[in-house]
Structure formats: structure tokens, C-alpha cells
Amino acid sequence: MNSENQKTQQVLQEIEKVVIGKNEVIEKILMAVLAAGHVLMEDVPGVGKTTTAMAFARVLGLETRRIQFTSDTVPSDILGFSVYDKKSECFVYKPGPIMTNLLLADEINRTSSKTQSALLEAMEERHVSVDGSTYALPSPFMVIATQNPTGSAGTTMLPNSQLDRFLIKISMGYPDLESQISILQERHSENPLDKVQPVLDKAGLQALIDETTAVHVAQPVYAYVAQLAQATRAHPAVQLGLSPRGALAVCRMAKACAFLSGRDYVVPEDVTAIFSDVAAHRLMLNAKARMMELDAQQLAGEILKNVPMPAVRSGGK
């Protein structure tokens, strides 16, 4: 195992001290981090969304800020604002919490559409504009956002165009019985986050991101991703399928999956492992599908079954 793989495994081991019984979820989040993408975690309250995000913040050793979104949060609360400085006789930018490496955005769907748009535009453009001036965000920069299910009272559903800013959308789900017992036993006397130790820093994470970007993708794998995207667009239950940007997101996440598996090339199994998490929140189902209460995750799984997987030899060729 090379040093890069040792580091990623150490990250997973530290997170597992806090997030019990959810190894697949934390692996997917780490893949998104390695792909320099943003993560949206949607689930009912109390299953560990915020704790998971805070654990990643500590283990990655990055400068971190947290925003608790409410109905009265305004864009300047996130982006910052300009104030007049009497000494210099000019306006000075006062950075908002978005000027950090890892932003924890709690309950993003509890704030207004205007505030959501301000954050999500900055996520896409990697800079903020305040009073006509543009300020670049730090590098690396990523957002781990949480939201309650859209049926919850007081929530504002993110439109598809804004959901597209998130590389993946995942759910924690309830713990199994054994994990629940472990949580009950361990968390009466201590904060589980106190166990977590930093494994990386800004430079170390950026090096892993660069390594992930360099992972090789063979032409048959590119063709496979394109066929999957085309299948979403042709599905009778889908109004809007996977866009070219969404297909690129699948490739980025597949590279991270390969890197986490210790390979410098992508195989079709990497694509199938992450496809639903990348694609489902980008699919807009038609009215008939919504009336039938069809699930986008299930449709993504159905598409995976119907599109033949190419044969790729060792080395990704």
C-alpha cells in the first residue's frame, strides 16, 4: 500500500470512530472530497449528518466554518459585506464564513431561495462578488451541506439547477441494531468528536486531489458513462436526464472511487458503484412518474442493469 492509500485509509479509520456502521457513506463522502466536489446529505434529524460533517472537518485538518441556516439568513451572512473605513476613506471587504476551506452548511433548505442561490453560485464559480468586487475562494474549497427531507415544515426545496452544484447527494439512514447499541453505550460520558485526530492538512489534501485528477479513464469507460447518460434521457419516466455536466461528475467520482481502491485507472465497476449517488438528484421525473411515486435512485439502478458494462482489462485499457 503506497503512502497515498495509507493516508486515505487513516482518514476512514478516524471517521469510523465517530460514525458507526456507516462505512459506505463515509467512503462516498471521502470520494467526493478527493474529487474536489460538494456533498449534500439529506435525512431525518438525529441520524448524524452534522456529526459526520464535523468529523471530516477535523480529520482533514482544514480551516472550517459552520453556518446554521434559518429563515432570516441573508446572502451577506454567508458571502460577507463591505464597510466604509474612515482611515483609508474607502470601502473594505469583511469576509463571510464562506472564506474557508471546508464550509459546513447546516439545514440548507431552511433558508430562502435568494440565500441558497448566493451560496450555490459561489460553490460553482469558486469566487464571491460583493459590491462590484470579486474575491476568490480559498483552495481547496468544498461544502458539506445537510438538509431535512423536503416534506418537513418550513423547508424550501432546492431546484434541480442548484442541486446540480452538489457532486453527490446521500442519506445516512438509521443505524442497524448492533451499531445503535454501540452508540448508546459510548456516548453518555464523552463527545465522540474528541477521539478524532487530524490526518491531513491543506497541502496534503490538495496532493491527494491532484493524484485523483490524474487517474486514467480509458475510452470504453468514457463510452459507458455516455451510454448511461443517454439512457437517462431516453427513459420514459424521466423528463430531464443527466446533463453533460452530470456525466463529467460521474467521471470525477469514478476516478475518486478508483483512487480509494488503490488503482490509478478506472474500471466500469467504479462507475456502477457511484452512479446512483451522482445521478439520482440530477434526474427530473415526469408528472406520471411522480404520481406513481417512483424513486430516482431506483430508476438509476434500473438504468445500470439495462446498459451493458464494457470489458476493461487490467490497467484500464
- pLDDT, tens digit, 9 for 90 and up, residues 230-253: 999 999 888 889 999 999 999 999
Burial of 128: CB neighbours in 10 Å, binned 0-12, 13-18, 19+: buried
Res 150: pLDDT: 61
DSSP 110: G
Res 213: pLDDT: 96
Res 44: pLDDT: 74
CA atoms within 13 A on the CB side of 166: 30
pTM: 0.89
Least confident of 47-61, 123-137, 201-215, 303-317: 303-317
Determine the Cα–Cα distance for residues 282 and 270; give it in Å rounded to an integer.
19
Determine the Cα–Cα distance for residues 250 and 234; give it in Å rounded to an integer.
18
Beta partners for 191? none
Determine the Cα–Cα distance for residues 267 and 264; give it in Å rounded to an integer.
10
Do 1 and 137 touch, CB atoms closer than 8 A?
A: no
Dihedral sign of CA atoms 52, 53, 55, 56 in order: positive
Mean pLDDT of all residues in 24-29? 92
Q: What is the mean pLDDT of the chain?
A: 87
Phi and psi at 219, nearest 5°, equal -55, -40
Instruction: Please determine, for residue 1, whether its predicted confidence score (pLDDT) is greater than 60.
Output: no
Radius of gyration of the chain (CA): 20
- pLDDT, tens digit, 9 for 90 and up, residues 266-293: 999 999 999 999 999 999 888 888 888 8
For residue 247, which of 223, 215, 273, 265 has the smallest C-alpha distance?
223
Determine the Cα–Cα distance for residues 68 and 53; give it in Å rounded to an integer.
13
Contacts with 147 (C-beta within 8 Å, 6 or more apart), sequence order:
40, 41, 42, 107, 108, 109, 110, 155, 158
Do 270 and 218 touch, CB atoms closer than 8 A?
A: no
